[in-house]
Amino acid sequence: MKKAFTAALAFGTALLCLTGCGNKFVGDWECTKVKINGETYKARDFKEETGYDIEDYMQITIDKDGTGSLTFEDGDFETDFEWESDDDSITFELDDDLHHNDEIKGKLKDDELVLKIEDLTVYLSQDGESDDDDDDDDDDDGDEKGSRRSKSKLKSANSSAKLVFTTVERTVADMIADGENMSEIHSLDYPKKISELDTSDEIENAVYEAMKDNGDDSGCYVYWETDSTGGVTFAQFGEETDGMIGQYPEPETDPSNDHDMGYEF
């Protein structure tokens, strides 16, 4: 009964704490490039032509519950939407028509979300970085936006690390209460992808069940360490495509060891 309650609680927490790793589209997207009638405009040229900062031309927030919001032309147009994805393709069903369209289709190409709206093609990025090498107009406001994005990613990664920590902690407590041998309580030897956790092991299986909705093949890594008494020292969560390591406890400090999580860590 106690184990069933623990598993249910861990699963419920997972729904609240999962990061965008589970679905490649989930997150905040900003416009970085626009193609109009076959002509491509990047940051500087686009502002000269339209008066809009390119990142304010279109912004999209895609939530993991299948909903989201879109702002267009610096907030002159705003609408909510529902979305569905299939591999690298996504479809938005808009609450309000944009350029007489109540449906927009997009595709993920090289980490860019590309939307086609009649003669307009909009390119969006989750990190908001334009590929316009000639655009040297960096300012404090841009730095502040980048800082907010980084803090948001770190907060999300820290939340997932906390879920790993609490899952291991509860599982170890159950094992000790059931009189299991302390040798069965262990740290990971190295960071493991969620899909590579050993489900025949009680602790690794508990973490797998709590974290698997992050996506079995998404490249998300977990790691934890326990001490000689079975206490959890710390836990970490990372995504190989993101470069961000979340840690619990003490999430504001540098990661507590020097291992690599994925190829960019």
| 199-204: average pLDDT | 93
Judge whether 122 lies within some domain: yes
- In terms of domains, do 52 and 115 share one? yes
Tokens coding 144 = 């502040």
Tokens coding 215 = 């996506």
Distance CA 127, CA 104 (A): 22
Judge whether 15 lies within some domain: no
- In terms of domains, do 46 and 132 share one? yes
Distance CA 172, CA 165 (A): 11
Count structural domains, the chain: 2
Distance CA 122, CA 116 (A): 7
Confidence of residue 10 (pLDDT cuts 50, 70, 90): very low
SS3 169: helix
- In terms of domains, do 126 and 189 share one? no
- Judged against a pLDDT cut of 70, whether residue 33 lies above it is answered with yes
- In terms of domains, do 165 and 91 share one? no
Give pLDDT tens digits for 147-185. 444 566 677 778 888 999 999 999 999 999 988 887 788
Q: Which residues pair with 84 in a beta bridge?
A: 91
Tell me if 222 sits within 8 A of 205, measured CB to CB. Answer: no
- Looking at residue 258, its pLDDT comes to 56
- In terms of domains, do 114 and 156 share one? no
Judge whether 205 lies within some domain: yes
Tell me the average pLDDT of the chain.
76
Domain range holding 225? Answer: 148-248
- In terms of domains, do 116 and 183 share one? no
Give pLDDT tens digits for 239-257. 764 466 788 887 655 566 5
Low-confidence winner among 54-68, 111-125, 141-155, 205-219 (lowest mean pLDDT): 141-155
- Looking at residue 68, its pLDDT comes to 92
- Looking at residue 40, its pLDDT comes to 85
